[in-house]
């Protein structure tokens, strides 16, 4: 049985080397039925997850990475890249507690010559806190992110959007508007663009010093023209 296990693992690696990730997954699944050691199971789950990642099947990748960390919470053999990826996918699939836990674990492990991943970790840690309405904690992480220089223009947008969203959640409307406008001046994804239009339209609609009917209508029209079927427009129209 040990010989069969070794053969299956070697075949799987050969398929990985040839970028045939679907066949590699089949071989790893076969090897999994022959594995007798916990360390072998962990390695196979990690490898299958990585193959699914290469195939852009992120939900399946997350499923297998979750198995890895369920067995070995530290996953010391996986390197910081695996911990980062698990934390990143945990945020995407709303597993916020694990995402926070593993971003806090991985940040000190990321080499200083990888500022993109350090900044990304602070940003996503902030987004995790915002998703749980812990906006003050989110703002602290965004300040850390803002101090890290990278070549990514989009990361600057993510920071500005994060500030806008968190200050909006804290009813600090002036700051929400300030950072929303900053975000619009940077490189935008459609998702962030839609949310920023909502924040600005809603903020300008609120009574008080920042109320501005003309600007409210301007950003509402932006939402209506670019995202006519979006949930944020429907939410705005409820008020």
DSSP calls for 104-123: HHHGGGS-TT-HHHHHHHHH
Give 163-167's long-range contacts (Cβ < 8 A, gap of 24+).
Answer: 163/139, 164/196, 164/199, 165/130, 165/138, 165/195, 165/199, 166/126, 166/130, 166/135, 166/136, 166/138, 166/139, 166/142, 167/135, 167/139
Q: What is the pLDDT of residue 114?
A: 97
Domain 152-239 sits in CATH 1.25.40: yes
Q: What is the pLDDT of residue 207?
A: 65
Q: What is the pLDDT of residue 172?
A: 95
Give the domain ranges of the chain.
1-72, 78-134, 152-239
Q: How many helices (H) and strands (E) does the chain have?
A: 13, 0
> Mean pLDDT, to the nearest integer, of 155-170?
97
121 within 8 A of 84, measured Cβ to Cβ? yes
pLDDT tens readout for residues 184-215: 999 899 999 999 999 999 999 986 777 899 99
Non-local CB neighbours of 77 within 8 Å, separated by 6+ positions: 39, 42, 43
CA distance 157 to 186: 6
CA distance 36 to 3: 12
pLDDT tens readout for residues 13-46: 999 999 999 999 999 999 988 877 888 899 999 9
More confident residue, 176 or 34: 176
pTM above 0.85, yes or no: yes
Q: 132-145 b/e with 16+ CB inside 10 Å = b?
A: eebbebbbebbebb
Pull the structure tokens for residue 129. Answer: 């806190």
Domains 1-72 and 152-239 share a fold: yes
Query: Could you tell me which CATH number the domain at 1-72 has?
Result: 1.25.40.10
pLDDT tens readout for residues 64-89: 999 999 988 776 667 899 999 999 99
């Amino acid at each position: 049985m040990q010989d069969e296990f070794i053969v299956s693992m070697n075949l799987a690696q050969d398929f990985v080397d040839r970028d045939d990730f679907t066949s590699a997954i089949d071989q790893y699944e076969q090897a999994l039925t022959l594995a007798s050691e916990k360390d072998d199971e962990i390695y196979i789950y990690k490898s299958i997850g990585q193959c699914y990642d290469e195939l852009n099947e992120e939900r399946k990748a997350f499923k297998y990475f979750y198995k890895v960390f369920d067995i070995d919470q530290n996953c010391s053999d996986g390197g910081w890249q695996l911990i980062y990826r698990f934390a990143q996918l945990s945020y995407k699939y709303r597993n916020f507690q694990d995402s926070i836990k593993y971003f806090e674990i991985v940040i000190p492990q990321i080499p200083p010559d990888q500022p993109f991943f350090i900044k990304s970790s602070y940003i996503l840690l902030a987004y995790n806190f915002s998703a749980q309405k812990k906006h003050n904690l989110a703002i602290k992480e965004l300040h850390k992110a803002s101090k890290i220089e990278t070549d990514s223009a989009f990361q600057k947008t993510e920071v500005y959007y994060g500030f806008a969203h968190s200050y909006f959640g804290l009813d600090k409307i002036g700051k929400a508007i300030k950072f929303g406008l900053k975000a619009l001046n940077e490189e935008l994804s459609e998702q962030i663009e839609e949310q920023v239009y909502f924040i600005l339209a809603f903020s300008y609609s609120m009574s008080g010093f920042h109320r501005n009917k003309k600007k409210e209508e301007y950003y509402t029209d932006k939402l209506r023209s670019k995202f006519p079927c979006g949930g944020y427009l429907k939410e705005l129209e409820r008020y």
